[in-house]
A = this chain, B = another copy of it.
Amino acid sequence: VIAYNRTRRHAEPLRADGAQIAGSPADAVRDAEALVTMLADDQAVADVLFGGAAEAMPRGAVHASMSTISVDLSRGLAEEHHRRGQQYVAAPVFGRPDAAAFQKLWIVAAGAERAVEHARPLLEAMGRGLTVVGTEPAAANAVKLAGNFTLASMIETLGEAFRLMRGSGVEPRQFLEVIGNALFQSPVYANYGGIIADEKFEPAGFKLTLGLKDVRLLLAAADGAGVPMPFAGVLRDRFLEAVAHGRGNSDWSAVAKPL
């Protein structure tokens, strides 16, 4: 395994586990059979791939792109790798860094069948589950964005409901207990509901600015597919408003807090 990180000292600890550290993306991939990328955003992925890595990758190698990126960039990467005789699998993940550390990620993959099979052992080694959603790589990116949208909608829903509860003399925690027992029975509602009820938005599990980025990518995907999404439109404004009120570095569930 050859590792590369823009900030070299972040990669160094991997030496202890037997990894080599590359000085550039191109160096990292020159002899690779497979490239796994997990980066912050479209810009970072484009910089690495179009800035040398795609060119340096051997023909036939497979790129498993695990970042949460736009469907447009995913389409662009698919073309680029195709043009160079390389394989490409979009394989975004559900789960935070600590979930990754304990092999608890859920991975959604899409790409040509051969490419997916090529990447499968790597993906299975990284996650607790893998769903393959088709042969069009960008579909996996759309699933990731739509999945985050369902979380963001849940957060906004709980925020609105809690505000009504407080205005009605009911503790959010009590309401949460009711809908947990009577309806959802879901750990995600319990966890996020607890954070919102207690307003424990720091430290951020997932930063609000990243949530805004994902809503933006979702709306771009919806626009491209000609799909109206009224809840997503509301979320966009709520995230923008929250950022304007200085909550960009709080957990994205801080969008549920009244201004």
What is the interface of chain A, defined by CB distance below 8 A to chain B? Answer: 71, 94-95, 106, 108, 129, 131, 133-134, 136, 138-139, 142-143, 146-147, 149-151, 153-154, 156-158, 160-161, 163-165, 167-171, 174-175, 177-179, 181-189, 216, 218-219, 221-223, 225-234, 236-238, 240-241, 243-244, 259
Give chain B residues whose Cβ lies under 8 Å from the Cβ of A187: 185
Question: What is the chain B residue whose CB lies nearest that of A138?
Answer: B168
CA A123 to CA B23, docked complex, whole Å: 54
CA A129 to CA B177, docked complex, whole Å: 11
Question: What is the chain B residue whose CB lies nearest that of A240?
Answer: B228
Among the listed B154, B158, B178, B228, which residue makes an inter-chain contact with A143, where contact means beta carbons less than 8 Å apart?
A: B178
Are B134 and A170 closer than 8 Å at their CB atoms?
Answer: yes
Known A134-B169, A146-B164, A150-B184; further 4 A-B contacts with Cβ < 8 A:
A94-B178, A147-B183, A157-B157, A234-B234
Are A182 and B95 closer than 8 Å at their CB atoms?
Answer: yes
Are A183 and B150 closer than 8 Å at their CB atoms?
Answer: yes
Question: What is the chain B residue whose CB lies nearest that of A245?
Answer: B259
Are B179 and A147 closer than 8 Å at their CB atoms?
Answer: yes
Are B149 and A181 closer than 8 Å at their CB atoms?
Answer: no
Chain A interface mostly helix, strand, loop or mixed? helix
Are A164 and B227 closer than 8 Å at their CB atoms?
Answer: yes
Give chain B residues whose Cβ lies under 8 Å from the Cβ of A157: 149-150, 153-154, 157, 231
Among the listed B163, B185, B219, which residue makes an inter-chain contact with A227, where contact means beta carbons less than 8 Å apart?
A: B163
Question: What is the chain B residue whose CB lies nearest that of A129?
Answer: B181
Are B226 and A170 closer than 8 Å at their CB atoms?
Answer: no
Give chain B residues whose Cβ lies under 8 Å from the Cβ of A241: 228, 259
Give chain B residues whose Cβ lies under 8 Å from the Cβ of A183: 94, 147, 150-151, 188
Are A233 and B233 closer than 8 Å at their CB atoms?
Answer: yes
Are B161 and A149 closer than 8 Å at their CB atoms?
Answer: yes
Are A170 and B143 closer than 8 Å at their CB atoms?
Answer: yes
Are B165 and A142 closer than 8 Å at their CB atoms?
Answer: yes
Are A164 and B225 closer than 8 Å at their CB atoms?
Answer: yes
CA A226 to CA B239, docked complex, whole Å: 9
Give chain B residues whose Cβ lies under 8 Å from the Cβ of A154: 153-154, 157
- Given known pairs A188-B185, A229-B164, A230-B160, the reply for A108 and B178 (CB within 8 Å) is yes
